[in-house]
A and B are shown apart, each in its own frame.
Chain A
């Protein structure tokens, strides 16, 4: 573990050159930023499932993501009905709910893969639905998909470096930085190799996605998002398309990231993961957030009738 973190530390100086603030990196590092200790304890208590009231995980500061009055319809079908929620840095939010309750749609609205019909989404204080520089915001919101969506025509290494290289080239053009294209590519390659080493797949760097197992694909997809130094990771049912024996390796990586302080929003059917790793659980039903509470409140002592009946079916 220590070794891995050392490796990641070396990534930091590069981040300073990028537009991503250094805090994105420290968060990654784990235990370095001020609010970290609070987070750690919160997740530890949650993990060990030890009675009592968990400490309030919310530091008093501006939320990372704020959603106001979000509505989304597909034709006549209203999928999201007036959702408002705030998510702070360091929170690990798990969204559960019956199928068709709008979980995935909600998640996809957060980075505007679905355009909301109504409402506003603030990310780091900037409103996204009318943002002209949406791409630069998206770089800070990683997304992991159910079907991995690796680029099949590119090698694993290229899959990981494509976006960061492109972002830095864009940055270079904009700020007229004195760095050659080759330097950027080499630096990003080195970073990608470190990330691959972290998940023990550096030997797959030159392989094409078609040769990988589902679990490997998903872990590489996660690493691909990490390569952008995101402030938040969105997971859209990351284990639903996996064979049962591969679910564990993906969840383990996700847990590792959570322990390091990464802000995560996870749509999942893995109730154990939700219970052990999350700091907050949203239960969605019929396009609304029906319950918003700590995992203890949601799993230990559910009050909402629909939540009760949902949990009785899945647990």
Chain B
């Protein structure tokens, strides 16, 4: 404790953690890798996840796509049933052993992993949409696919935004296991610096703070999207519309 409070030592430790050899750059390089992996993984996860959910949902509602649905079921079971670190090893050392770029391997692994979780979230979202919506779409002559894309999926997406962002946030932090196969992500940096300075304190604090900031930004994005999509909510809807409720009441009596 005395050491910690000693101003001179503190300054030294700060300097060795950030300034010596331009070490601060390392954190941001790690952050860049983490963000790259997370971004691609989220994209893969959402696209593949919604695809899986749609297949499973379609099979449940119409009985079609039986084989595909069975495959999806096995996929989610296996992915959710095994640790992501082992999945990373399997990818890095076996399936994608020829790929030299660790970031690519990481993106694919975390994306495929995330897809299984997103699929379950998205399925819940699809099932939360009133079946009358599908009937209304079909009775207007829209095809099943068109009704899905234009009517069911947008409503499902809206309903699951909180759960979806939960998954994204978990994913960003989960990418820190990439260090196990030598990918230099943000989680790996404190260890690298400590191996030179024998001091963990500031590297750990700073790396954690960076993760925290990323997650806070994600939360802000979530709030923004929620607000945009809440336009159609009762009570909110009038706020966004010129004239609002008063004007419409008048027209009714006229």
Which residues of A are in contact with B by a Cβ distance under 8 Å? Answer: 111, 113, 135-143, 145, 147, 149-154, 162-163, 166-167, 200-201, 203-204, 206-211, 224-225, 228, 234
Contact = CB atoms under 8 A, between A and B. Distances in A.
15 contacts: A135-B141, A138-B140, A139-B140, A139-B141, A143-B135, A147-B132, A149-B135, A151-B136, A152-B155, A162-B140, A166-B146, A203-B251, A204-B248, A206-B241, A210-B232
Given A152-B155, A153-B232, A211-B237, A163 B135 contact: no
Interface in B86-127: none
Contacts of B141: 135-140, 163, 167, 228
Given A149-B130, A200-B251, A206-B241, A211 B234 contact: yes
Given A113-B135, A151-B136, 20 more contacts: A111-B139, A136-B141, A138-B139, A138-B140, A142-B139, A143-B139, A145-B132, A153-B151, A153-B229, A162-B142, A166-B146, A167-B141, A200-B252, A203-B251, A206-B241, A207-B241, A208-B237, A209-B232, A210-B233, A210-B235
A181 to B, nearest CB: 15
Contacts of A136: 141
A207 B146 CA distance: 23
What are the nearest 3 A-B pairs in CB distance? A139-B141, A149-B136, A163-B140
Interface in B135-169: 135-143, 146, 150-151, 154-155, 158
A74 to B, nearest CB: 15
Contacts of A140: 141
B146 A113 contact: no
A203 B247 contact: yes
B146 A149 contact: no
Which of B130, B136, B248 lies at the interface centre, i.e. has the most chain A CB atoms within 10 A of its CB?
B136
A197 B251 CA distance: 11
Contacts of B83: none
B252 to A, nearest CB: 8
A263 B138 CA distance: 20
A277 to B, nearest CB: 22
A235 B113 CA distance: 47
B234 A210 contact: yes
B133 interface: yes
Interface in B214-246: 229, 231-235, 237-238, 241-243, 245
A246 to B, nearest CB: 11
Contact of B150 (A141, A145, A162): A162
Contacts of B238: 207, 211
Contacts of B231: 208
A228 B238 CA distance: 29
Nearest to B229: A153
B239 to A, nearest CB: 10
Contacts of B130: 147, 149
Contacts of A141: 139
Given A136-B141, A138-B141, A211-B245, A153 B155 contact: yes
| Most chain A CB inside 10 Å of its own CB: which residue of B130, B235, B237 | B237
B125 to A, nearest CB: 13
A228 B138 CA distance: 13
B138 to A, nearest CB: 7
Contacts of B251: 200-201, 203
A142 B245 CA distance: 30
Contact of B135 (A145, A150, A166): A145
A298 to B, nearest CB: 28
Contact of A152 (B138, B139, B232): B232
A149 B238 CA distance: 20
A64 B12 CA distance: 90
A208 B140 contact: no
A138 B135 CA distance: 11
Nearest to A211: B237
B56 to A, nearest CB: 21
A207 B139 contact: no
A17 B81 CA distance: 56
Contacts of A135: 138, 141-143
A129 B65 CA distance: 21
A201 B141 CA distance: 25
Contacts of B154: 153
A208 B136 CA distance: 17
A315 to B, nearest CB: 30
A204 B251 CA distance: 9
Nearest to A225: B140
A111 to B, nearest CB: 6
B151 A151 contact: yes
A153 B140 contact: no
